[in-house]
Amino acid sequence: SQQGEEDPQALSIQEGENATMNCSYKTSINNLQWYRQNSGRGLVHLILIRSNEREKHSGRLRVTLDTSKKSSSLLITASRAADTASYFCATDMQGGSEKLVFGKGTKLTVNP
Amino acid sequence: DAGITQSPRHKVTETGTPVTLRCHQTENHRYMYWYRQDPGHGLRLIHYSYGVKDTDKGEVSDGYSVSRSKTEDFLLTLESATSSQTSVYFCAISEPSSGRETQYFGPGTRLLVL
């Protein structure tokens, strides 16, 4: 069964705007990861945040993690048309990090 | 890009025929995974391997078998393909024991079972 659930399922914004995607999960985790998938391609890792971290930045990406609410958010600032893709959160299980459970993804469209 | 290739990239087959998909890596990662991706379901783990000849089931393993005789190759076999196995199949690798839990994905195989 799905561990992570992204929200919203789809998001359409204009270039230059910020995009926020949320992920909720059910059980305790060691870490949470975000991946990106361009249409017809494999997933690409974006960022990993550990359970003892609250916020992490990578370029235009900002990820937050609230373990008390079992939720995470991915913020993409100053979006570009090239950011158009599907974004997935993935969580491991606290007993081990070798297996990930992926959510169903948020499809982001950035209009030029 | 991580050195992961999948073959074939596209396949059309008929119900009841056996199908084998191959994943090949050049990264010497211990863990290899097979996922399927379907609309409305995201990625679901089929089987994974944590070493040569060491494999375990994932969430949706029924109808699939795997084998890993070499570190670099992980094979996924559909013994008797069914239409419900029409999907996009992704292979991934990782080396979580080194503190790097990131998974690296191959380009995918589109399988159509008629």
DSSP classification of residue A41: S
Q: Output the pLDDT for position B2.
A: 64
Cβ-in-10-Å burial (0-12, 13-18, 19+) of B16 comes to exposed
User: Rounded distance, CA A1 to CA A22, Å?
Assistant: 18
Q: Which residue in B5, B60, B103, B104 has the most chain A C-beta atoms within 10 A of its own C-beta, making it the best mutation to test that interface?
A: B103
Q: Choose from A43, A49, A106 for mutation: most chain B CBs within 10 A.
A: A43
Report the pLDDT value the prediction gives residue A1, as an integer from 0 to 100: 47
Eight-class DSSP state of B85: G
B59-105 pLDDT, tens digit per residue, is 899 999 999 999 999 999 999 999 999 999 999 999 877 666 899 99
Percent of chain B's residues with pLDDT above 90: 87
Are A41 and B58 a contacting pair at CB < 8 A? no
Q: Tell me if A40 and B108 make a contact (CB, 8 A cut-off).
A: yes
Coil, strand or helix: which one is A83? helix
From the centroid of its chain, how far is CA B44? 11
Residue A43 to residue B102, Cβ atoms within 8 A = no
Q: For residue B39, list its beta bridge partners.
A: none
- Beta carbons of B35 and B89 less than 8 angstroms apart: yes
Average pLDDT, chain A: 92
CA distance B10 to B25: 19
Q: Do B45 and A2 touch (CB under 8 A)?
A: no
The DSSP secondary-structure symbol of A35 reads E
- Measured CA to CA, the distance from residue B51 to residue A8 in angstroms comes to 37
Strand partners, A2: none
CA distance B15 to chain A (A): 24
Residue segments in chain A with a per-residue pLDDT below the cut of 70: 1-3, 94-97
Q: How far is A108 from chain B (nearest CA, A)?
A: 15
The strands making up B64-70's β-sheet, listed across from edge to edge, are: B4-7, B19-25, B73-78, B64-70
Interchain contact B101–A (C-beta under 8 A): yes
Q: Could you tell me which chain A residue has the CA closest to the CA of B96?
A: A98
Q: Return the amino acid letter for B25.
A: Q
Tell me whether the omega of the peptide bond preceding residue A8 falls within 30 degrees of 0, making it cis: yes
User: Which structure tokens are listed for B69?
Assistant: 């005789």
Tell me the C-alpha distance between A36 and A41, whole Å.
10
